[in-house]
Amino acid sequence: MENTMLQQRKQCRLVLFPLPFQGHINPMIQLANILHSKGFSISIVHTRFNSPDPFKHPHFTFHFISDGLTSDVRDKPLDPVLIIKQLNNNCAEPFRQCLNELLSDGKENNVKCIITDTNWYCAQEVADSLKLPRIVLRTSSICAFLAFAALPRIREKGYLSNPEPNIEEPIVELPHLKVKDIPTIDISKLEDLYQLVGDFVESSKKAFGLIFNTFKELEEHDLEKLSEQFLMPIFTIGPFHKHFSAGRSSLLTQDRSCISWLDTQAPKSVLYVSFGSVATMNQEKLYEMAWGLADSKQPFLWVVRPGLVHGLDQWLESLPNELLESINERGYVIKWAPQQEVLSHPAVGGFWTHNGWNSTLESVCEGVPMISSPFFGDQKVNARYVNDVWRIGIRLEKGFKREEIEKAIRRLMVDKEGEDMRQRIMCLKEKADLCLNVGGSSYRSLEGLVDFISSL
């Protein structure tokens, strides 16, 4: 019976369209693998920019479209709002043409639906014109999506209109959040953000369904609120990386030498430090980080991604010798980590993170408590939830100050406070494990998604 259904689904092709950034590519490729394991045939449409290696995914067919990005946009420090807007402007037609070719191609017909990142707001009009159902994947948390969806009300209430807003003021419309947690990107370009968010929220409201890489038990209350505002079927089928690791879709080479280094460290003694694939900082912040890490006297594994620091052409070699010596005493520094493996390593006891949603969820699933330094957007909401709602981390409220960093590391890695957080996050880890088991919430939601797609 199950075999017949798998065979039938093989006739159904799903076209997936990820936003071309690491934190969006990983969950979309994981979703592709999950749906492929349920029998569906998968096509991935991708920009040439930041493309994953098709040879690592031979069970999917890849179709590349022109993104038209100019080098001044793609090579500068990332301006997420500008680049997402340009991608939508440039890719709508190539995407339509690509789908048209797929629909008329004898080999790849039977396209059931398209699944795009929420940020591809241009895709709704394309889907409508081709009479294809569109489902959207939101790669971040529900709590952050609700915060984005509330931006028009936040704007009306004027929380950010004062030139010097009170950043500690609570947001009445979003319990738990303060003005400093509003998911802004560049405060000097608020109008552009309002427009982008308006576009992706409105286009999501027209979609057939919404998929989230989260699980019900983690965001139950916000899931209820979401269902009141978005009336289509909503599927919470995460955590995706428990089905398929993010490693295969990594755009940078993961340095596995850190695993041998971790093998030499005591259990739960190492702080893992990484700010994901797009955050950038200046040299002053890097120095404060380095001194805070060195002064904490705790072992650490630190990812300093090429491009993380503006103007630092030579990676860490340009740091003063005294600082390099302090780093080398207890630290191990690499350019890109096999993050999932690192977080599940017994030596890792804490994660200093920017709270990108994938990193946050990967940490929850391994029971590793966090120190939070959100940079922009959804990271700010995730960090507040980590600190105040789930109480599984410490948010660095004053930015990058070496004394505060040192204190936070000791609170997390040495003090009883950190141990309490570890226990709370272990409870969430257990819930994450259970939700994927037969009959668990994400398991059932995935069954619902498969039925829903089959019925389209």
What does the binding site for ligand UDP look like in residue numbers (CB under 6 A)? 22-23, 26, 246, 250, 254, 274, 276-278, 303, 336-337, 339-340, 356-359, 362
Nearest distance from C-beta of residue 375 to ligand UDP, angstroms: 8
CA distances from 339 to 51, 189, 240, 255, 387 (A): 20, 32, 15, 10, 22
Nearest distance from C-beta of residue 232 to ligand UDP, angstroms: 24
The answer for residues whose C-beta is within 8 angstroms of residue 272's C-beta and 6 or more apart is: 300, 301, 337, 342, 343, 348, 350, 351, 352, 368
Question: Residue 113: which H helix or E strand, with range?
Answer: strand 111-117
Strand order in the sheet with 348-353: 331-334, 300-303, 270-274, 348-353, 370-372, 393-395
Q: Please give the Cα distance from 109 to 247 (Å, whole number).
A: 31
Nearest distance from C-beta of residue 110 to ligand UDP, angstroms: 31
Q: At what angle do helices 283-296 and 402-413 cross, to 10 degrees?
A: 40
Instruction: Name the pairing type of β-strands 331-334 and 348-353.
Output: unpaired
150 vs 364, beta carbon nearer ligand UDP: 364
Tell me which amino acid residue 379 is.
Q
Nearest distance from C-beta of residue 278 to ligand UDP, angstroms: 5
Nearest distance from C-beta of residue 227 to ligand UDP, angstroms: 24
60 vs 357, beta carbon nearer ligand UDP: 357
| Residue 347 CB coordination number (10 Å) | 19
Q: Please give the Cα distance from 255 to 247 (Å, whole number).
A: 11
Please state whether the peptide bond connecting residue 239 to the residue before it is cis, i.e. omega within 30 degrees of 0. yes
Nearest distance from C-beta of residue 169 to ligand UDP, angstroms: 27
Using CA of residue 378, residue 382, residue 387, residue 393, what is the dihedral sign?
negative
39 vs 331, beta carbon nearer ligand UDP: 331
Q: Which residue in 190, 202, 185, 186 sits closest to 149, CA to CA?
A: 202
**Angle at the Cα of 373 from the Cα atoms of 305 and 225, rounded to 5 degrees:** 120
Residue nearest to ligand UDP (CB): 23
Nearest distance from C-beta of residue 217 to ligand UDP, angstroms: 20
41 vs 359, beta carbon nearer ligand UDP: 359
Nearest distance from C-beta of residue 73 to ligand UDP, angstroms: 18
Q: Is 17 helix (H, G, I), strand (E, B) or coil?
A: strand
